[in-house]
Amino acid sequence: MASVYQKPGRKTWYMHVRDGTGRFRDLATKARTKTAAKEIAQEYEARAKRQLLGLEPRPTDSTMTLAELCAWWLKERCKPASLRRERSRLNHHVIKTEFGRLPLPQVTTARIEQQLRAMELAGSSSGSVNHLRGKLRTVFAKARKAGLFGGHNPVVDTEPRKVPKRIALTLLAEQVSIVLGEVPDQWRAFFAAAVFTGMRKGELCGLRKADVDLAQRTITVRRSYARETTKGGHADVIPVAPALLPHLEAAIDASSSDLVFPASDGSMLSEDANTERVLRSALARGGIVTGYDHTCRRCKAKGTPHVERHADATLRHCPRCNMKLWPRPLKSKMRFHDLRHTAATLMLRAGVDPHRVQRVLRHASVTTTTGTYAHLAIEDLRDAVSKIGSPQPSERSPFADRLRTSLKTGSVANEDTCPKVPENAELDGAPGRSRTCGPRLRRPLLYPAELQARGLLVPPARGRVKQLRSP
């Protein structure tokens, strides 16, 4: 049933109605009175009812398919910086699939959820599922603004997946020189610039000689690949570290074009340049691996392979044929972008304040710097937990030592060295007997608060004091 209302402090009348897809919606009207707003709401619901009965075309009744809508978005609305990546994503999961051939009226929330679930079952990560979900939501939103789609956005009601937060792989300070020493000569300056400046891959590929001032030791980051802008959409000047200066000079001297890090033919490196393979091979040669697979080649040739996984490459022999096992390093899964994480982490670990690290990495917010790129190694945390330590044993008072002696032996040598028993201690025999620590003392029931404070007594459970066993 349609209803109208006003929000507090506003003069606009809103209507709560069911649309042509059967969903309730809250829409603003241009009515100036409540009566006029009710008439608009009733007319809207009457038309929606005809649409539900098939007597009138619904807003989602379009001749386009989902694949055609995605192709329109890629051509007309997608940002150039993301075009290559988003075209690959949508081609793989939507445009070239049965899902993409569905007419738009059949692309419901349930059908999209089914497709996202199929991606999960096929092994896609939660991040990949969320990326496709977000992109489809953008496609429908842009189509509504362009007038190509008039119904409710079906992606809004789908469930976002929870993405586990993982720790990026970074290099330690002592590992940087090891990795740069193992990188091939033609790549060494490129990788050194990534570590010492934190620049992105596209920014390094698009870096020109005119952007580098060796005299002032600065780099102006103003473009990414062939685009005349960066990911953040602004140009920034960053300093050149002393350790990077010789690498930059060598790269500029060796370059035959206006680029600092060109390809072998002088052209710009493309996004397909496999920098991950170069990095992981250098890590393996430097011994920075996740382990080793020791394989028996003789057993493998016979069709019965024998493989052992160990943390080191120590010589081992096959338990079947006693032949030497050949170790194969398991390469780290570090990405080239993790060198940017390394730059941030090394600066923060060296005591550089987060705001200066933010300026070097050119983040819009310092929260991004500290939350995403500050990967503290375990050694950084070890000093923190070492502050806890085990509590030091309290010094024993002479009273506690003498009392322990009396409890062990049942008596003390002389009365002067033993404290007086508290007035409410229970003694065997008549109340008038001596209250000194003599052989007649049997079960003391209450001791001074000092013993309880030093952990020598257990607090009473039911009004009685329980004596700890003497060590």
Three-state SS across 406-468?
HHHHCCCCCHHHCCCCCCCCECCCCCCCCCCCCCCCCECCCCCHHHHHCCCEECCCCCCCEEC
Residues 224 and 364 in one domain: yes
Which of 105, 131, 146 is at the close of a domain? 146
Q: Which of 146-150, 288-292, 348-352 has the highest mean pLDDT?
A: 288-292
Q: Which residues pair with 27 in a beta bridge?
A: 15
pLDDT higher than 70, residue 416: no
Q: What is the pLDDT of residues 226-246, one digit of tens each?
A: 888 887 788 999 999 999 999
- Positive or negative, the Cα torsion across 138, 144, 147, 149? positive
Q: What is the pLDDT of residues 287-331, one digit of tens each?
A: 999 999 999 999 988 888 899 999 988 999 999 899 999 999 999
Q: Which of 36-50, 52-66, 369-383 has the highest mean pLDDT?
A: 36-50
Residues 230 and 345 in one domain: yes
More confident residue, 383 or 14: 14
More confident residue, 25 or 13: 13
Structurally, the chain folds into a number of domains equal to 5
pLDDT at 18: 84
Q: Considering only 94-103, 119-128, 156-165, which range has the smallest mean pLDDT?
A: 156-165
Residues 203 and 346 in one domain: yes
pLDDT at 450: 54
To the nearest whole number, what is the mean pLDDT of the chain?
82
Residues 210 and 338 in one domain: yes
pLDDT higher than 60, residue 438: no
More confident residue, 431 or 49: 49
Average pLDDT of 329-335?
Answer: 91
More confident residue, 446 or 100: 100
Residues 281 and 299 in one domain: no
Q: What is the pLDDT of residues 173-182, one digit of tens each?
A: 999 999 999 9
- Is residue 392 situated within a structural domain? no
- Is residue 57 situated within a structural domain? no
pLDDT at 421: 47
Residues 468 and 402 in one domain: yes
Average pLDDT of 238-265?
Answer: 94
Residues 302 and 360 in one domain: no
Residues 294 and 417 in one domain: no
pLDDT at 399: 55
pLDDT at 233: 81
pLDDT classification of 141: cutoffs 50, 70, 90: very high
**Domain range spanning residue 92?**
66-146
pLDDT higher than 60, residue 163: yes
pLDDT higher than 50, residue 465: no
- Is residue 61 situated within a structural domain? no
Give the percent of the chain with pLDDT over 70. Answer: 78
Residues 418 and 312 in one domain: no
Residues 205 and 350 in one domain: yes
- Is residue 59 situated within a structural domain? no
CATH code of the domain covering residue 282: 1.10.443.10
Residues 230 and 340 in one domain: yes
Residues 199 and 339 in one domain: yes
- Is residue 310 situated within a structural domain? yes
More confident residue, 408 or 365: 365
